[in-house]
Structure 1
Amino acid sequence: MTTETRAGRPKASSRETLAEAACELFLEQGYEETSIADIARRAGVSRSSFFNYFSSKSDVLWSGLDARIEAASVALAGLGTDADGAAVRAAVMPIVHGFAPDPLALALRNAQAMGLESELLRDTGLRHARIASAVAGAARSAGVDEIRADILGSALATAVLSSLRVWAEQGAGQASLEAQFDAALRSIHDLPWR
């Protein structure tokens, strides 16, 4: 039986096909050893097509979460002086709500096999800083002092990212990420908004 490759876009979404190809290759040969050209070839698209969907190899893993963080940041900035603990948590909740298993969840669960430990540590730090900064900005807009605002931002960012990591490591889709996040929020209840 011969396999024919068709020119043009694959039947499935090229974005999904590229992400699937990337994850397969990361598992087979490791993150560092996988090039963008390898991913494009596996997905059956051109290297330039890769950049229609992702800005980098790392973006394959993080783009879904980054979009959620950006939306939460916009919502947090929109709270202005009305920001309080409940409003901020409501603005942050969409980051985890309905989060389906994706390349990031697979990477978190298989970090060692994919050779991603350093990449995930570094890039998680960037996402932590983005969430923490957005939350702290909302707190400062509502009159919370600088240090408390920074602490609240860091605590909520840690709750989001730790929940996501634990959920993925335990088998994304096996439990509720929202429940994991609620438990994380309960663990920081000693950090009142004011």
Structure 2
Amino acid sequence: MESESRAGRPRASSRETLAEAACELFLEQGYDATSVADITRRAGVSRSSFFNYFSSKSDVLWSGLDARIDKALVALAALGTHADGPAVRAALEPVVHDFAPDPLALALRNASAMGLEQELLRDTGIRHARISSAVAATARSAGVDEIRADILGSALATAVLSSLRVWAEQGAGQASLEQRFDEALHSIHDLPWG
């Protein structure tokens, strides 16, 4: 059974409507105080509709980035023994390319107001570990020694996530995320691939 929607809000069950409702509530009452039931009530959809799009409340923030990371991990694995610095960077660039402001960007910019500092810190660490591990595995498969592979993985994962955070915190429309990523890559240029 669908909940009654807030006055003035059209009934819809789209991912965007749910994400918008969630972000509104995170700003109004904080992340921890917002339940999935609150989000579905605000969006005017059933609980099952929420779970058609998101696996959890946290997934509202991260699902867009996670889909991009998933594609990058596939691209990294496909490089095999032919991996080198430019190929790895090319596999990671789609994570930041044409990244439109989304719930994650809003959360990064308004972390304090939404009560999300700890949540973002923890969940960013998960994404960092996924990217870092995949880059390190790619480097090892191309013959890079263990420690250097781990350092490269961590550095490149940090470049992706730091550029995203800075871009969002400074206002997503102020500079391109691609430019921020390029700046981040230049800052780690002293870490040679081979």
Alignment partners' CA distance in 1, 2:85 and 2:155: 12
**TM-score, scaled to structure 2:** 0.94
Q: What does residue 52 of structure 1 align with?
A: 52
Q: What does residue 149 of structure 1 align with?
A: 149
Alignment partners' CA distance in 2, 1:173 and 1:74: 29
Deviations 1:50-99 (A, max 9, x none): 00000000000000000000000000000001100000000000000010
SS in 2 for 1:79: helix
Percent of matched pairs sharing the same residue: 84
Please tell me whether residue 93 in structure 1 is matched to residue 97 in structure 2. no
Q: What does residue 170 of structure 2 align with?
A: 170
1:16/1:189 CA distance change after superposition, 3 Å: same
Structure 1 residue runs of 5 or longer lacking an equivalent are: none
Alignment partners' CA distance in 2, 1:4 and 1:167: 33
Q: CA deviation at 1:14?
A: 1.2
1:81/1:172 CA distance change after superposition, 3 Å: same
Q: What does residue 3 of structure 2 align with?
A: none
| Maintained 8 Å contact 1:96/1:177 | yes
Deviations 1:86-122 (A, max 9, x none): 0000000000001000000000000000000000000
The one-letter amino acid paired with 1:149 is A
1:81/1:26 CA distance change after superposition, 3 Å: same
**TM-score, scaled to structure 1:** 0.94
Q: CA deviation at 1:174?
A: 2.0
Q: What does residue 63 of structure 1 align with?
A: 63
Q: What does residue 182 of structure 2 align with?
A: 182
Alignment partners' CA distance in 1, 2:113 and 2:180: 25
1:5/1:175 CA distance change after superposition, 3 Å: closer
- RMSD in angstroms over aligned alpha carbons? 1.2
Alignment partners' CA distance in 1, 2:110 and 2:172: 12
Deviations 1:100-150 (A, max 9, x none): 000000000000000000000000000000000110011011000010000
Alignment partners' CA distance in 2, 1:146 and 1:61: 33
Deviations 1:125-179 (A, max 9, x none): 0000000011001101100001000000000000000000000000012210000
The equivalences for 1:31-46 within 5 A come to 31-46=31-46
Q: What does residue 111 of structure 1 align with?
A: 111
Q: What does residue 28 of structure 1 align with?
A: 28
The one-letter amino acid paired with 1:125 is G
Detail structure 1 runs of 4+ shifted over 2 Å in the superposition.
3-6
